[in-house]
């Protein structure tokens, strides 16, 4: 989160998404996404958040 703080200090627009219950936010293993409901849901939330951020900028 220090990187996010540095970006904010530089005047950048930053959003932080925390995926509760996931060991890593970039865990996009296709098999896990398809087979594990929690991983699939967190992945959809991550993609939706990224899309929303991009759409607003």
pLDDT value for 28: 66
Query: Considering the domain boundaries, does residue 7 fall inside one?
Result: no
Give the residues of the chain that fall short of pLDDT 70: 23-28
Q: Does residue 36 lie within any of the structural domains?
A: yes
pLDDT for 10: 98
Residue 2 in any domain: the answer is: no
The pLDDT, as a whole number, for residue 25 is 63
Number of domains forming the structure of the chain: 1
pLDDT of residue 27: 61
Q: Identify which of 49, 52, 19 has the alpha carbon closest to the alpha carbon of residue 36.
A: 19
- Let me know if residue 5 belongs to a domain: no
- Give the 3-state secondary structure of 1-57: CHHHHHHHHCCCCCCCCCCCCCCCCCCCCHHHHHHCHHHHHHHHHHHHHHHHHHHCC
Q: Kindly report the pTM of this predicted structure.
A: 0.65
Cα separation of 46 and 26, whole Å?
9
Domain carrying residue 24: 18-57
């Amino acid at each position: 989160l220090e990187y996010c703080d540095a970006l904010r200090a530089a005047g950048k627009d930053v959003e932080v998404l925390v995926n509760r219950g996931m060991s890593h936010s970039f865990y996009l293993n296709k098999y896990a996404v398809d087979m594990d409901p929690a991983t699939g849901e967190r992945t959809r939330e991550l993609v939706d958040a990224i899309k929303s951020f991009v759409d607003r900028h």
